[in-house]
């Protein structure tokens, strides 16, 4: 029987994933999935602990850095990234993980430091700094909210100051604070029933039999909130193709397009296929969906999801939708969905790494991409057809601004007021301008916390 390693492999793997996140543009959920796939022997408790440490450290990075800076004898001292990640990981355990004794958080971090750095001075530095974090964990280290709301929210609720400043101007300090608090809470695990194979009620019963509690979503007729996040590679109902993981606000977008069986649909930015496969369900897998996707690797994921769900009507095409499209002159589509690439500021509770990567200039850059995409795909819509433009962000420049700019350049299109065309159950999600707009909890009162989404439906005259 071999000796156990002089460090905790669970914490080491969490540190390695955080390092990967720092060096690359990888998404946290994909990095975690990849790590778990490479370690199939890992038990569910270890997976859960790694997920909490990685996602929690990313969510609370700003606050953790405030505590770390306060613990330094020389505030502002430059610390190398590998060591910074170790400090953040240790501080997260101390400040947020009640089940982890403070002594264990320090000792395990010191053990990792010995293995990673092989330097007694650094090992002692880790020990001293984290013990200082413990001593000051209950102190109020943040500036006063009333006098410095941007600085307070940025530090206490762990968001970049440029984004907090924007939300304070747009929503006011209280709402901005509530929004940032909502972004730091674990999002609900929401799925969409595959209506080609079952009903929501039947899926609910099957989940209960599998000891997974669920309850119906308020707005999407196919949605269910699950009481826990199952490991999808091990969950038989997912593997049978009975559901797709998709937030409720995203599910509503397909109902806004309202495709009909037998129609020809263009999904201009399709992978990984949440809305594509939902459109196919609503069309009873009858008709044709051309699904464009820029990245070939994502097309494989889209095709895999279609196979699992039993969908045959989707044809995936590797193509940049802003460039010339592979259709013949005179060819048209009954409806077009453009779920545009965006800053993703409406889903930060799902992608906490994104708030540290986004910059103010991304908003302007992406709004130009969105306008280009709209110009490109709209020319393939038939007269009388509908086009839905959607994003998972909340910036006016990427939402209203893009739509209004398009309408000025394209008088052959008109904006449809969604209050007049959607079923009554979805109208509470439509604003006074006729746009579909949802927010994380804290911005407006809603019965359920949803992702921040936007959609507009345009009709070609």
Distance CA 250, CA 452 (A): 9
Q: Is 397 helix (H, G, I), strand (E, B) or coil?
A: coil
Q: Decide if 214 contacts 208 (C-beta within 8 A).
A: yes
Q: Please, which residues have CB within 8 angstroms of residue 459's CB and are 6 or more apart in sequence?
A: 384, 385, 386, 387, 413, 414, 416
Please give, one letter per residue, the 3-state secondary structure of 152-206.
HHHHHCCCCHHHHHHHHHHHCHHHHHHHHHHHCCCCCEEEEECCCCCCHHHHHHH
CA diameter of the chain: 76
Q: Please, which residues have CB within 8 angstroms of residue 47's CB and are 6 or more apart in sequence?
A: 36, 231
Quote the tokens at residue 45: 């408790």
CA triple 360-32-154, angle to 5 deg: 35
392 is catalytic: yes
The C-alpha torsion from 75 through 78 and 81 to 84, rounded to 10°, is -20
Query: Among the options 269, 306, 342, 392, which is catalytic?
Result: 392
Give the chain's length.
461
Q: Which amino acids are annotated catalytic? A: 392
């Amino acid at each position: 029987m071999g000796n156990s390693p002089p460090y905790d492999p669970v914490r080491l793997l969490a540190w390695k994933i955080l390092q990967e996140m720092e060096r690359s543009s990888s998404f946290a959920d994909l990095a975690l999935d990849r790590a778990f796939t490479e370690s199939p022997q890992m038990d569910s408790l270890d997976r859960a602990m790694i997920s909490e440490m990685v996602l929690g450290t990313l969510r609370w990075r700003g606050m953790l850095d405030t505590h770390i800076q306060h613990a330094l004898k020389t505030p502002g001292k430059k610390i190398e990234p590998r060591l910074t990640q170790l400090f953040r990981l240790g501080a997260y355990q101390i400040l947020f993980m009640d089940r982890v004794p403070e002594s264990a958080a320090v000792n395990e971090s010191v053990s990792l430091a010995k293995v990673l750095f092989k330097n007694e001075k650094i090992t002692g530095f880790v020990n001293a700094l984290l013990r200082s974090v413990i001593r000051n964990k209950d102190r109020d280290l943040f500036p006063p909210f009333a006098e410095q709301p941007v600085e307070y929210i940025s530090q206490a609720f762990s968001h970049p100051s440029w984004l907090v400043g924007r939300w304070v101007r747009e929503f006011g300090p209280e709402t901005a604070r509530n929004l940032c608090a909502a972004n730091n809470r674990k999002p609900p695990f929401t799925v969409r029933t595959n209506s080609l194979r079952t009903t929501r009620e039947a899926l609910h019963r099957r989940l209960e039999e599998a000891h997974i509690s669920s309850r119906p979503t308020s707005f999407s007729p196919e949605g269910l909130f699950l009481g826990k996040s199952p490991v999808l590679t091990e969950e038989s109902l997912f593997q049978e193709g009975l559901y797709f993981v998709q937030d409720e606000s995203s599910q509503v977008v397909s109902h806004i397009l309202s495709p009909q069986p037998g129609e020809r649909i263009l999904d201009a930015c399709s992978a990984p296929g949440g809305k594509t496969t939902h459109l196919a369900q609503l069309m009873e897998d009858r008709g044709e969906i051309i699904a464009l996707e820029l990245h070939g690797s994502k097309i494989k994921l889209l095709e895999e999801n279609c196979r699992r769900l039993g969908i045959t009507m989707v044809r995936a095409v590797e193509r940049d939708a802003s460039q010339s499209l592979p259709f013949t002159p005179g060819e048209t589509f009954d409806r077009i969905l453009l779920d545009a690439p965006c800053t993703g500021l409406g889903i930060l509770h799902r992608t906490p790494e994104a708030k540290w990567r986004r910059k103010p200039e991304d908003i302007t850059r992406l709004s130009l991409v969105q306008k280009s995409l709209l110009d490109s795909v709209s020319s393939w819509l038939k007269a009388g057809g509908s086009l839905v433009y959607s994003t998972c962000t909340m910036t006016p420049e990427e939402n209203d601004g893009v739509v209004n700019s398009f309408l000025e350049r394209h008088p052959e299109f008109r904006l449809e007021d969604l209050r007049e065309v959607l079923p009554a159950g979805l109208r509470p999600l439509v604003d006074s301008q006729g746009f579909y707009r949802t927010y994380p909890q804290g911005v407006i009162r809603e019965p359920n916390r949803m992702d921040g989404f936007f959609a507009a439906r345009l009709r070609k005259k």
